[in-house]
């Protein structure tokens, strides 16, 4: 139960006193929490949305800059997702996105780690206080967990199972580094992974 307590000094019978009012604001707080969750959560998959990720990325980049600690980022793209949608239909496609989102969440173990839907069939994993070795291990864990799901994909060359390509980047940010620059560097690694045949991980150290 949430309450709003207001205490106002008054004079009663010529003596100083206090007037206290208590108002139940539980319903208002519940609505505020629902609106806050809606603003930061991807409606389809239930994980964080791009807006929430960008806010967190900016905050974590600033934290890493102050502490001179590493920050890692992984961009995850479902391989041949257009073909999946065309063959199985959009309802199955939406379920596939949700399954992948929830599976990626299982790969995280840091207290401030975050997985978000970046757009379409692309996801982003934010890994504060994480060096290049650990970040690559997390990316491998993401791939293993998705492979373990064994989601059928008739048009995939990889045993007709759903796979993902991942770009990974790590940085100890310098003054002036912006989130978009870091994300762009990692995104280029994702496209390298796709250009090299998909179902692989490519990494970069971002200066």
Question: Whole-prediction pTM value?
Answer: 0.83
What are the start-end ranges of the E strands in the chain?
Answer: 3-12, 15-24, 71-78, 114-119, 122-128, 164-171, 201-205
The Cα-based distances of 111 to 33, 126, 130, 169 in angstroms read 21, 11, 12, 19
How high does pLDDT run on average in the chain? 93
* Confidence check: pLDDT of 25 > 80: no
> pLDDT tens, 72-107?
999 999 999 999 999 999 999 999 999 999 999 999
d(CA 37, CA 29): 12
Query: What per-residue confidence (pLDDT) applies to 29?
Result: 74
121 is catalytic: yes
* Confidence check: pLDDT of 193 > 90: yes
Q: Which of 60, 121, 122, 202 is labelled catalytic? A: 121
* Confidence check: pLDDT of 19 > 90: no
d(CA 96, CA 61): 31
> pLDDT tens, 141-157?
999 999 999 999 999 99
């Amino acid at each position: 139960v949430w309450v709003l307590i207001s205490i106002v000094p008054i004079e009663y019978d010529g003596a100083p006193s206090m007037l206290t009012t208590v108002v139940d604001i539980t319903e208002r707080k519940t609505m505020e929490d629902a609106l806050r969750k809606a603003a930061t959560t991807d409606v389809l998959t239930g994980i964080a949305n791009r807006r929430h990720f960008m806010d967190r990325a900016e905050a974590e980049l600033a934290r890493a800059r102050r502490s001179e600690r590493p920050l890692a980022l992984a961009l995850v793209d479902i391989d041949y997702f257009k073909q999946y949608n065309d063959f199985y239909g959009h309802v199955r496609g939406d379920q596939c996105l949700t399954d992948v989102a929830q599976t990626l969440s299982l790969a995280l173990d840091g207290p401030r780690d975050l997985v978000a839907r970046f757009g379409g069939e692309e996801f982003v994993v934010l890994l504060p206080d994480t060096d290049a070795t650990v970040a690559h291990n997390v990316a491998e864990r993401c791939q293993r967990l998705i492979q373990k799901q064994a989601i059928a994909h008739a048009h995939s060359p990889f045993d007709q199972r759903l796979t993902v390509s991942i770009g990974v980047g790590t940085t100890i940010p310098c003054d002036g580094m912006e989130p978009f620059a870091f994300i762009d560097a990692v995104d280029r690694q994702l496209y390298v992974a796709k250009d090299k045949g998909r179902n692989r991980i490519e990494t970069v150290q971002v200066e």
